[in-house]
Structure 1
Amino acid sequence: MARVTLGELIAVLDAAYPPSLAESWDSVGLVCGDPGEAVSRVMFAVDATAAVVDEAIGWGAQALVVHHPLLLRGVDTVAASTPKGALLHRLIRNGCALFTAHTNADSADPGVSDALAHALGLRVSGPLEPKSAAGVDQWTVNVPLEHADAVLSALFSAGAGGSGNYGEAAWRAPGTQQFRPLPGAEPALGRIGQLERVAEERIEVVAPPSARGAVLAALRAAHPYEEPAYHVTERAALRTGQGLGRVGELPEPETLRRFTARVRAALPGTVWGVRAAGDPERRISTVAVCGGAGDSFLGTVRRLGVDAYVTADLRHHPVDEHLRAGGPALVDAAHWATEQPWCAQAEGIVRFGLPALETRVSTLRTDPWTVGTVD
């Protein structure tokens, strides 16, 4: 069996759930573990509870991948005498790394809400709150033919030329540049007052706006002209398939009563169960979903005009006000239950990227509620 390192596992997870998608307040990535160590077994769970850590260690996992961060807020100790410190010490002593994919997994495409939508049988059309593509500059540079390779190499070294999974990408086309040096100029070619025509290449490359200063400095240093001819344009921010929540459609319309039963059957059982707010006979066709706490999107789903919204942790007053404002029906499930389908999604991504690994989704319910009653 081929040796797989923790670093390789992290690379697969980061590609699927880019850390750059995480919210500014979040804490994602490797919590403990050595990227150079070998891994052969990986377990997936929503939470790194004591029981889940015991399950992972008992199975012989070298990595535990979870959704909820164990260390979300700043700490000044991970001593074994503290609850979270005790878990970290137990993981480290048993050679099991801990990795978190939280809001980056929420916004990824596919992500947490895709897994929830898939479990409910929805045809997803896009995010509930789309993220825009990262900004990018397009640089257009004219350069004499004999200097084109050198200038292009300098641009690449400064951070230009990246496009998705490709590097050193450029468009090159021949042409003729003309100019007339005026008094005070120090032309590399031509004479003051005389019109000059030079065979040149037009080079086009893209670069992140953050590299703008470095790219310009590299261009000026490598270009033979006193005043290089260049132009920079910034691409408009375009929506992507990434973002929080998802909007989808049922294969066939059904009543809210029946749709609520669909949600209950699709998600793992909890004491919290599944409850709905709205007319039980309301016709449901278009549905918005958000794994985890999603009451911040109540205004968004009203504007979108969907028929129902599935999420977790809904509260009395916001729900009441939402319904009185004419918003869609609401279906509220346990926080853990709406995010648990993600575990299978993450496992599938790792299996595809690293087929030599043995993987497993935790069998434990980490929803904290243990007793429920119905009047």
Structure 2
Amino acid sequence: MDATLADVLGVLDRLYDPTWAESWDAVGLVTGDPAQPVRRVLFAVDPMRVVVDEAIAGEFDLLVTHHPLSLKGVSSVAATTPKGRVIHDLIRSGTALHVCHTNADNANPGVSDALAAALELQDTTPLKAMPADAMDKIVVYVPVGETQAMIDALAAAGAGQIGDYDRAAWSSTGEGTFRPLDGANPAIGQVGEIERVVEDRVEMVLPRSRRRAVVEALKQTHSYEEPAFDIFEMAALPSNRGGGRIGVLREPLKLADFAALVAERLPRTEHGVRVSGDPERMIATVAVVGGAGDSEFERVRRAGVDAYVTADLRHHPATEARAYDEGPALVDVAHWASEWPWLKDAERLLTSALTAGGFTVETEVSTVCTDAWTLRL
């Protein structure tokens, strides 16, 4: 079955939720009609002229890139500029362009997971963990005969999901008391008389985004005219998503040998692999950040790792980071090379999800090197 662009974007947005992107970023669909068919998908790091030409010449219906075509707002897409010409050619050829940038950086698995896997790091955790999705806990008091129906209703509305379990709830039994006043229409008891009812206290967690739906389900299911319930906002905890990864090598290596491993596992560039540190130093724990990573030096140092692999390291931040005796050795690679391994991951995950949905799509990863540096002397 052929997929539409909307079908493909639905999978990509589940893998790389746009809400995970940084506030300054520009992710999502750049060109393309959600109703158009997608039979061929090309993955690349940069939407540069050479890559767009590759996509058009190969008759790909969709180009998925990591970097945005226009990160900053523009007032014109006239074909008088290189980027304007790219947009015109994409639209004219019917080639859609979709961007997964920092939402892919923060995903799990994401860009840094692919980099860590290429370097054979194990037991990885986020370097800069994002908070988990905001959660609530709802507490409702219900006559014991209605407890299971209430749990079912709240679960159907989105409460009670914990990991691989659903309908998770806790209850305890006690006595509720109330006195209906004039104008009340009590399901139990009489106006003006004190009533005592054996009730269960039911507790369930829920995503905060489902709060309205869960409360509505509670009110519709409860037999009382005025059900008693509480909502508690739960403390934010770190998630398994976020930028960068920290992991452990299968066996410690000398820094020189580890750098050679990095050079072997990542695509070759004229930039190559630069190293700062004693070549004989033993490396066991490693932090990685796909893309530019010198803004994370302080976090990396606090993590106490032996080496830090990232791209675009500048002189002053690097020398300041090396000034700490306990600081990590630095392994600097080309920006493009540090993010290219993610393309294979994205291709595999997209293909698997579309196949499971009954769709047939051909995919390919571009091997065109779009690193900015073309000669090293």
Specify if TM > 0.5: yes
Instruction: Give the superposition deviation at 1:365.
Output: 0.4
Aligned to 1:359: 363
Letter in 1 for 2:343: C
Aligned to 2:135: 136
- Alignment gaps of 5+ in structure 1: none
* Distance (whole Å) between structure 2 residues aligned to residue 307 and residue 168 of structure 1: 41
* Distance (whole Å) between structure 2 residues aligned to residue 366 and residue 248 of structure 1: 28
Q: Secondary structure at the match of 1:286?
A: strand
Q: In the superposition, relative to structure 1, how do residues 23 and 96 fare at CA in structure 2: closer, same or farther (>3 Å)?
A: same
Letter in 2 for 1:181: R
Letter in 2 for 1:304: A
Q: In the superposition, relative to structure 1, how do residues 19 and 162 fare at CA in structure 2: closer, same or farther (>3 Å)?
A: farther
* Distance (whole Å) between structure 1 residues aligned to residue 25 and residue 162 of structure 2: 25
Q: Map of 1:27-66 to 2, 5 A cutoff?
A: 27-66=26-65
* Distance (whole Å) between structure 1 residues aligned to residue 108 and residue 178 of structure 2: 52
Letter in 2 for 1:335: H
Does 2:250 align with 1:251?
A: yes
Is the CA contact (8 Å cut-off) linking 1:267 and 1:337 kept in structure 2? Answer: yes
Does 2:120 align with 1:116?
A: no
Aligned to 2:318: 319
- The answer to which of 105-114 and 123-132 deviates more is 123-132
Instruction: Give the superposition deviation at 1:237.
Output: 2.0
Aligned to 1:70: 69
Q: In the superposition, relative to structure 1, how do residues 9 and 162 fare at CA in structure 2: closer, same or farther (>3 Å)?
A: farther
Q: In the superposition, relative to structure 1, how do residues 155 and 163 fare at CA in structure 2: closer, same or farther (>3 Å)?
A: closer
Q: In the superposition, relative to structure 1, how do residues 212 and 359 fare at CA in structure 2: closer, same or farther (>3 Å)?
A: closer
Q: In the superposition, relative to structure 1, how do residues 168 and 89 fare at CA in structure 2: closer, same or farther (>3 Å)?
A: farther
Q: In the superposition, relative to structure 1, how do residues 217 and 311 fare at CA in structure 2: closer, same or farther (>3 Å)?
A: same
Instruction: Give the superposition deviation at 1:17.
Output: 1.2
* Distance (whole Å) between structure 2 residues aligned to residue 254 and residue 172 of structure 1: 50
* Distance (whole Å) between structure 2 residues aligned to residue 154 and residue 264 of structure 1: 56
Aligned residues: 371
Aligned to 2:330: 330
Cα deviation digits, residues 173-197 of structure 1 (max 9, x gap): 7966531417778461323664424
Is the CA contact (8 Å cut-off) linking 2:269 and 2:334 kept in structure 1? Answer: yes
Q: 1:181 aligns with which of 179, 185, 208?
A: 179
Instruction: Give the superposition deviation at 1:371.
Output: 1.5
Q: Taking every aligned residue pair, what percent have the same amino acid on both sides?
A: 50
Is the CA contact (8 Å cut-off) linking 2:155 and 2:161 kept in structure 1? Answer: no
Letter in 1 for 2:340: Q
* Distance (whole Å) between structure 2 residues aligned to residue 72 and residue 160 of structure 1: 36
Could you tell me the TM-score, scaled by structure 1's length? Answer: 0.88
* Distance (whole Å) between structure 2 residues aligned to residue 169 and residue 17 of structure 1: 27
Letter in 2 for 1:370: T
* Distance (whole Å) between structure 2 residues aligned to residue 340 and residue 16 of structure 1: 17
Give the CA RMSD over aligned residues: 3.0
Is the CA contact (8 Å cut-off) linking 1:68 and 1:101 kept in structure 2? Answer: yes
Letter in 2 for 1:323: R
Does 2:195 align with 1:196?
A: yes
Aligned to 1:264: 263
* Distance (whole Å) between structure 2 residues aligned to residue 34 and residue 148 of structure 1: 48
Does 2:26 align with 1:21?
A: no
Q: Secondary structure at the match of 1:290?
A: strand
Q: In the superposition, relative to structure 1, how do residues 367 and 164 fare at CA in structure 2: closer, same or farther (>3 Å)?
A: farther
- The answer to which of 26-35 and 46-55 deviates more is 26-35
